[in-house]
Amino acid sequence: MDAASGGTTISEDLAEEAEAQDLLTLGIEEEYLLVDAVEPRGVEAVEQVIDLVPEELRESVQHEYMRSQIEVASPPQLELSGLHAAMRDLRRTVADAAERAGARLLAVGAGPAPGPNMRLVDSPRYHRMRERFGDLSPGQGMCGTHVHVSIPDPETGVKVLNHLRPWLPIFQAATANSPLFAGRDTGYASWRSMMWERWPTVGPAPYLESVEQYETLVSDLEATGAMLDEGMLYWYARLSAHYPTVEIRMGDVMPTLDDAMLLAALARALVATLVREVRAGIEAPRVSHPLLVAAHWRAAHDGLEGVAIDMATREPRPAWRLMRQLFDYVRPELERHGDLEMATVLMGRLRSHGTGAARQRAILAQRGSVADVVDWLALVTRGDG
């Protein structure tokens, strides 16, 4: 779910530094679930938590759709280490504020434990959304990750969106972190993805011929009533309505900061690779929309622990093989942006311990309790696990 905006504005100095080095800036938004300090159920504590966040970080923390959710947005960064430090501070600070408010902070895609449906945040926009779209967000809330990568201009950005389309299912598989919902295993690695797809504008972006077509589609979708404003354009990748960035936004929020940093590094390296392809005049593959929808469904079902659809051959392959293929494809830009060493380490860690979905299921199998999964999520969200 989107508020009207997210993140903070890039400074002129940072923009000039990035342009001088022909590098792309990076930012990330994460949505979290608030649960009771003792019980694993969601709790309507967002107002109290925000009030307890120190003033110097308050502009990076905001409400989300439900009162049991909260969102943080990093300042734009040029170095991955800077993004890591910013998000580490935000996660720990908001987790501390949650604890003082009698709650716990969870980086999880959907509420793993049973609990009552939460009320909306008291916002005119959110009330309009409820009036228009009804109960499309039942339960305690759905929490995702959005990665912003700078682009030189909107026309390049639209072409990058076309090139991104076949790569995003493997990103979705890598971020899968919501296998449990309301106390049971759903059979999906990302149940949030399945609930999220009920909204009318969620899905892969279409192949776009120009910025003008993009803008016309936005206007047409608003005119149909399928969205209230451009903030409700919930394509898996889009141009940001507020910043000069491409926003990649189909993933669950990931349990650990390491997981989130790997996603961010790969996203920037991929966008940088695709910008170079656009400049070289390379056309994006025209992957069919039904095939993309099927590939995203498979990613949500299997995560990285099963198979994924190879967009080049249209055949199922082990998901980790495609993840490795992505890493090798963007390796030159990982290196050029100074991220290769950290990304290599983080890739190894993800390979050894699996996605958030796999880890949740392992804990449930070992201990037999969703409450134990929630305890683990609370620890790793703040970096203590």
CB neighbours of 125 closer than 8 A, spacing ≥ 6? 3, 4, 228
**Cα 162 → chain centroid:** 19
**Is 1 among the domain residues?**
no
Number of structural domains the chain divides into: 1
For the chain, residues with pLDDT lower than 70 are 1-10, 138, 385
Task: Tell me the residue range of the domain where 71 lies.
Answer: 12-382
378 belongs to a structural domain: yes
- Cα separation, 172 vs 159, whole angstroms: 21
CATH number, domain with residue 376:
3.30.590.20
> What is the predicted pLDDT for the residue at 19?
82
Look-up of token digits 């910013």: 86
Q: What b/e string do you get for 84-122 counting C-beta neighbours within 10 Å, with b at 16 or more? A: bebbebbbbbbbbbbbebebbbbbbbbbbbbbeebebbe
Residue 179 counted as domain residue: yes
- 3 within domain boundaries: no
Cβ pair 188, 181 in contact under 8 A = no
- Tell me, what's the pLDDT at 21? 87
- Please indicate, yes or no, if residue 7 is contained in any of the structural domains: no
Closest CA to 381 of 260, 249, 220: 260
- Phi, psi (5° rounding) for residue 235? -60, 155
Q: What is the pLDDT of residue 72?
A: 98
Q: Residue ranges of the alpha helices (H) in 54-182?
A: 80-100, 124-133, 154-164, 168-175
Torsion-angle region of residue 153: left (phi > 0), alpha (psi -120 to 50) or beta?
beta
Q: What is the mean pLDDT of the chain?
A: 94
Output the pLDDT for position 275. Answer: 98
What is the reported pLDDT for 33?
Answer: 98
Residue 11's pLDDT is 74
Is 2 within the bounds of a domain?
A: no
pLDDT digits (tens, 9 = 90+) for 261-296: 999 999 999 999 999 999 999 999 999 999 999 999
Domain presence at residue 195: yes
Identify whether 4 is part of a domain.
no
- Taken in order 229, 174, 79, 34, the sign of the CA dihedral is positive
